[in-house]
Amino acid sequence: MENDKKRKSWSELMMENKETEKNVSHGTIFQIYTSFIVGLLAITDGMAYGWTSPMIPYLTSDESHLKMSLHEAEWMETWMMIGVIFALPITVQAVDRIGRRNTILFSCIILVACWIGITIASRVEYIYAARFLKGVGLNMAYVAAPMYLGEIAHKNIRGLMSGIVFTLMMVGTLLIYILGPLVPYYVPSIIASVLLSTQVFAFFFLPESPYYLLNIKKYEEAKNALQRFRGNSDIEEEFEEIVKTMESDKQEKSSSLKAIFQVKHNRKSLIIVLVLDLSQPFACQEIMLMNLHEILNSAQSTYMSTTSAGIIFGCIMLVSAIVSSLIVDRFGRKFLLITSSISTGICLVTLAIYFHMKRSGHNLDSLSWIPIVSVLVYAFVYKIGIGMVPIVITSEIFTTKIKALGMTISDGVYVVGSIASLQMFFALKSTFGIHVPFYLFTCCALVTSLFTIFLIPETKGKTMEEIQTILKGE
């Protein structure tokens, strides 16, 4: 009789476990679905960043419907960066006042208008205005989307969800590289507008972040939102943790800029994020993306055309982004950052040594495959760690109270770092030779690995409250 009871209890326990797994699975599917919906915006972001690459040759050609000089065309990218910087104070207010979800929706509407404006523009100035507003929309999206996903995701798949979005951004860049030279000028704008309109429609039915709802004291709505993102599983314990985290955040002095510097763990969070933000441009991200053909032409390789190498480079980065998204929650943030930064440094120093020897007069014809291999290996090892992980950490390391301000500062520092790294590359290359900036950026990549080893905590599988506890040293 006792054995029958035990068997019955075991059977009931197994049924409960299966039901729990089913509920968790249902919640996971809905969260991943949400990340793909946000990813529609990311695809158009990638298209926006890569748009000038195929369009500048068209707009400066005799076939262009809107004739531009090369100098005028180059200003299109600058105006978008100006828009990004201009939007910083707007974004920090929007995500806390109207919410993460509504900020994303608002950015989508702005971006749809920009793509339509680019399509119908009849003057250069109109394109400049559209690119400026596109920078505003991209900044709002770049801050609000990771914040939203970081707050709705279960701790075990938070890295995956952020990774999906930035993988889709790479899809958008590759898409514009392929379609831009092949289709009429207006087609990419139509594709982007359709994707954004689809997101607006689908996103309208998704709930707001539970963290934001708690911040504005809508407790019942916050609980319902969390329940939707977790399926039918029991959310009481997780909800209590979120409430406890929010109450702890409210004890901080303020949500202003002063609070980031007054509170020790906030300062630590900011330092970590700023170093990671600068690690990307100073590990040659923009330099490789914008100057790949020039770098390979300088190598004078006979093993592969620069056009073919560029396409393969983009494909490898996309594959690497997918791999990173799938393993970031298994191997952890620190492992990927350390491995990636060391490997990136090896690729960069290989390029530096090659160009140094070539400048010194050595005959390297038989070794001209080295820069191509180095660049293609760089595409994989950079993107799997430094190129993906910082945005995951940025979305989870700030307290709710300063997250909007912290992520906005992060975005601004990244833009400034990108401009600085590009200008440094051009200045050092023209003054001392192309090998010198690669030596410098090698050092930057290796410093990132040391910083990660000693100062960045592992956030894999931890709740927001646990992450803050670690930063506080408790």
The predicted pLDDT at position 26 comes to 55
The predicted pLDDT at position 162 comes to 77
Could you tell me the pLDDT band of residue 22, with boundaries at 50, 70 and 90?
Answer: very low
> How is residue 457 annotated by DSSP?
P
Which residue, among 276, 257, 411, 283, has the nearest Cα to 345 in the 3D structure? Answer: 283
HSE toward the beta carbon, residue 406, CA cutoff 13 A: 28
Please state the rounded mean pLDDT for residues 438-465: 91
Structure tokens given for 355: 């160009």
Domain boundaries, the chain: 2-206, 262-471
The pLDDT tens digits of the residues spanning 114-166 come to 999 998 888 888 999 999 999 899 889 888 888 898 888 888 888 788 778 87
The predicted pLDDT at position 252 comes to 58
CATH assignment of 2-206, given 3.40.50.150, 1.20.1250.20, 1.10.3720.10, 1.20.1440.130?
1.20.1250.20
Q: 2-206 and 262-471 share one CATH topology?
A: yes
3-state secondary structure 240-282: HHHHHHHHHHHCCCCCCHHHHHHCHHHHHHHHHHHHHHHHCHH
pTM: 0.73
Q: What is the mean pLDDT of the chain?
A: 84
Q: Which of 118-122, 173-177, 299-303, 405-409 has the lowest mean pLDDT?
A: 299-303
Please state the rounded mean pLDDT for residues 444-455: 95
Structure tokens given for 191: 């594709």
- Homologous superfamily, domain 262-471: MFS general substrate transporter like domains (1.20.1250.20)
